[in-house]
Structure 1
Amino acid sequence: MRKRTEAPERRRSDLLDAAQRIVLDKGVAGLTVDEVTARAEVAKGTFYLYFRSKEQLLGALQDRFVDDLTARQRAELDRLDAGDWMGRLLHWMESSIRGYLAHADLHDALFHHPRSEDPASQPSIGHGQAARHGHEADPTINTHAAALADILEAGTAAGAFTLANPRAAAILLYNTMHGTADYLVEQAQRETTDSSTNLVDAVISESLNLCRRYAEPTG
């Protein structure tokens, strides 16, 4: 075991990186504190300086997955015109679907797995909240959904969208995005590369059309 001199945040990142490799290799069921510390090359006691349990570690991995996707999107959205609210909404939808598809193995390993019936032992989703499902559409506990809600609220305030309740709309559109991504992942496992690519493009195109019809002012 090598001596650790990195900053605390680097050590925490090393533990998360090690855990992520294990989850991809063995699934959540194969994730143990002993193997995480072995792969990260740290003492077992170091693990408990950053995480109380395997479940909290898993919650941190889930949060990092969502936060990384949100950060990439934010950087891309910052390059769009400030007042282009429809462009921002469409970019959020398409980049979200393609982002999940690009990291489908990790996403499914982290979020789609059997959960304990004991809420206290379940991993957290966003700010330590207990996850009841594979993902959460509530903008108050999911930074990715919150980014969508911010776009819809600002766009409605600017007159670009006609939404009676932007945050309720965010929940609906977030679930549209997530259900679409889940479907495309499943289909990709059954179809050829060309047909899968064509399906992705067609479904994303219709998802963007749905956003336009749903949010744009009428008349």
Structure 2
Amino acid sequence: MKEKTPAKDSTAKRPGRPRTKPAEVRLDELMAAAEKLFLEKGVEATTISDIVESAQVAKGTFYHYFSAKTDLLEALGKRYTERFMSSLERAMSACAADDWVGRLQVWVYANVETYVKTYQIHDIVYTNHHHHDRSNQAKNAILDQLLEIIDGGCRAGVWSPPAPRVVALLIYSGVHGATDDVIAARTKNIKPFAHSVSEACLQMLNPAKKAAA
């Protein structure tokens, strides 16, 4: 008599997707949901319940990462700065390492372009941060990036500003302040504006070649 094939155990484990997402993925989804809601409804009108519902997580998950909505805003601010600086680095990576004029021009253009694209979230996460704010870490990080370009050009003899840090402060504040004007005017084509700003910034550095001409 032929033996019966044993029935498969329905309780046997089957390979499948993990039941929980990695912590960094869950955190990114939570922050993305909050950012979207802040842009749509405003920070004050958005509740923690709104955020966790949009991210499809339990409220306990929110409190695992943040103690309050203000902590989430701070984290969004840091992420904004990191992404802003990354966009500047990517733009400058197309220039030769010793092309200080090109790097400055690209840095200015990337600042204008990125700020125009992201000013709405910038205004949300940095509501109380102004260019003159001594505790503005975002400003300090981007300013250090600019100072590296200026110092490199000084060492190479490309320009010779009498006070590099003062010029860097003026360029930083000038670029962002001028871009606010473009944003307010809802300018569609920012290329001519960005070019004019970069040329003005270059003149502030007292280029050696033009000074000798």
* TM-score for both structures, normalised by structure 1: 0.77
Question: CA 1:63/1:136 → structure 2, altered by over 3 Å: closer, same or farther?
Answer: farther
In structure 2, the partner of 1:197 is 188
Give, in whole Å, the separation in 1 of the partners of 2:143 and 2:110. 13
Bigger-Rg structure (1/2): 2
Count of residue pairs brought into register by the alignment: 190
Give, in whole Å, the separation in 1 of the partners of 2:39 and 2:19. 25
Percent same amino acid at aligned positions?
Answer: 29
- The answer on 1:210 being equivalent to 2:200 is yes
How far the C-alpha of 1:107 sits from its partner, in A, is: 2.6
- The answer on 1:62 being equivalent to 2:53 is no
Q: Secondary structure at the match of 1:103?
A: helix
- The answer on 1:86 being equivalent to 2:101 is yes
How far the C-alpha of 1:27 sits from its partner, in A, is: 1.6
Structure 1: tracts of 5 or more residues without a match: 113-131, 189-195
How far the C-alpha of 1:161 sits from its partner, in A, is: 2.4
Structure 1: 4+ residue segments shifted above 6 A = 136-140
Q: Is the 8 A contact 2:87 2:114 kept in 1?
A: no
How far the C-alpha of 1:213 sits from its partner, in A, is: 0.8
Give, in whole Å, the separation in 1 of the partners of 2:172 and 2:178. 10
* TM-score for both structures, normalised by structure 2: 0.79
In structure 1, the partner of 2:149 is 151
Q: Is the 8 A contact 1:37 1:47 kept in 2?
A: yes
The residue identity in structure 2 corresponding to 1:94 is Y
Give, in whole Å, the separation in 2 of the partners of 1:58 and 1:8. 19
Q: Is the 8 A contact 1:97 1:177 kept in 2?
A: yes
- The answer on 1:141 being equivalent to 2:156 is no
The residue identity in structure 2 corresponding to 1:141 is Q
Structure 2: tracts of 5 or more residues without a match: 1-17
RMSD: 2.4
